[in-house]
């Protein structure tokens, strides 16, 4: 299977200039292609294919105003057209929203290089239009005899440079175990397991909220277009990056642990997009990142031969007694402990996790 390894690197001044120029050209091609597609559809309902978009790119390169597109590698300029084609396919299949234009300030700058646009030799990576390899910090080794098929270079708002290397890898399944677990996600506890264990919500955004607010106030006082405003924007981005990195690290460790210790993991199919419309809880729900945890469980289960069981979101896991199966008519949110008519006492969240596990196993 294909797996991406992400590393931080430090470009030389010449590499920085080349990559910055490439990022700008990639963003320009995406925006011009999206504008052309939108205009063609609005004019007469005509859809645009990848072949037509690629032909348009060739014409843009020949024009006087866009001749600078020839100064960068042609491969990264073709990739946004392919990605846009996939984005529109997802939109028409109602799996995604309409593609949006990319902003220089708000979008993460990136460029994708396929095998013909980079050289991999003796563990060193050299991109097209460059004379020296990237100075990569190898935080983990690549698989033995790995041959990169795609390389994606990115530059985030915090000023950090990353390279993502996609390789073909054979991942051995984990040994089978008897254990299974149900997971009920929440806000006070990020995850409550059917075993009775409660995993605390680290609330990284709340921890750094004061520092982030100070950086945002400082940004609001800077004059538009000034160098001080750029520096202040960078400080805000670094505060956000710190929150995101710590949260992602925590979720990786949690998801890996659940997958390693259990043969099957049952979770609830939550509609997070609809839940964050509740403005009272939107910030806390976003900080919990339930969707990111589910995504990690999905691909790690596929890697290691585990099973992820997804229970319907309308299943009343909280109100059903996990001992006798009786459905309670009413159970207000503030009630955390309750006793069923059969005499069984329940912790609200642990009972929900047990019911999620039972429902997941029943739907196998």
- Residues with active-site annotation: 184, 268, 349
Distance of alpha carbon 212 from alpha carbon 232, whole angstroms: 11
Three-state DSSP state, 312? coil
Torsion of CA 319, 320, 321, 322, to 10 degrees: -120
Yes or no: say if 73 and 128 are a contact pair by the CB < 8 Å rule.
yes
Which residue matches tokens 């390894």?
A: 5
* DSSP-derived secondary structure for 67-135: GGGGGS-HHHHHHHHHHHHHHHHHHHTTSSPPP-PPPTTTSPEEEEEEGGGEEEETTEEEETT-SS---
Yes or no: say if 169 and 341 are a contact pair by the CB < 8 Å rule.
no
Report the 10 Å Cβ neighbour count for 107.
14
Residue of 231, 167, 144, 115 lying closest to 4 (CA atoms): 167
Distance of alpha carbon 234 from alpha carbon 159, whole angstroms: 7
Distance of alpha carbon 142 from alpha carbon 146, whole angstroms: 7
Beta bridge partners of 114: 150
């Amino acid at each position: 299977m294909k797996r991406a390894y992400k590393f931080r690197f430090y470009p030389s001044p010449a590499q920085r200039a080349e990559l910055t120029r490439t990022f700008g050209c990639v963003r320009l091609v995406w925006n011009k292609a999206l504008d052309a597609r939108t205009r063609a559809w609005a004019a007469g309902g005509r859809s645009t294919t990848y072949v037509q978009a690629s032909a348009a790119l060739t014409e843009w390169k020949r024009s006087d105003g866009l001749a600078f597109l020839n100064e960068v590698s042609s491969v990264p300029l073709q990739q946004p057209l392919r990605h846009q084609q996939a984005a529109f396919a997802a939109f028409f299949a109602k799996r995604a929203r309409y593609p949006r234009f990319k902003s220089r300030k708000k979008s993460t700058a990136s460029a994708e290089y396929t095998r013909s646009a980079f050289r991999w030799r003796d563990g060193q990576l050299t991109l097209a239009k460059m004379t020296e390899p990237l100075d990569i910090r190898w935080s983990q080794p690549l698989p033995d005899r790995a041959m990169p098929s795609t390389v994606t270079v990115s530059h985030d708002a915090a000023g950090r440079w990353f390279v993502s290397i996609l390789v073909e890898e054979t991942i051995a399944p984990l040994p089978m175990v008897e254990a299974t677990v149900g997971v009920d996600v929440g806000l006070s506890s990020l995850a409550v397991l059917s075993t009775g264990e409660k995993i605390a919500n680290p609330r990284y955004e709340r921890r750094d909220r004061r520092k982030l607010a100070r950086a945002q106030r400082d940004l609001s006082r800077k004059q538009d277009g000034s160098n001080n405003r750029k520096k202040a924007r960078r400080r805000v981005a670094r505060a956000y990056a710190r929150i995101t990195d710590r949260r992602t690290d925590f979720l990786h460790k949690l998801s890996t642990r659940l997958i390693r210790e259990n043969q099957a993991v049952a979770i609830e199919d939550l509609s997070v997009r609809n839940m964050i419309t509740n403005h009272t809880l939107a910030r806390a729900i976003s900080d919990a990142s339930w969707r990111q945890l589910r995504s990690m469980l999905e691909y790690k289960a596929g890697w290691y031969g585990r099973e992820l069981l997804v229970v319907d979101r309308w299943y009343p896991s909280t109100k059903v007694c996990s001992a006798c199966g009786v459905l309670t008519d009413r159970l207000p949110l503030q009630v955390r402990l309750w006793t069923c008519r059969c005499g069984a006492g329940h912790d609200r969240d642990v009972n929900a996790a047990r019911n999620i596990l039972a429902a997941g196993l029943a739907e196998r």
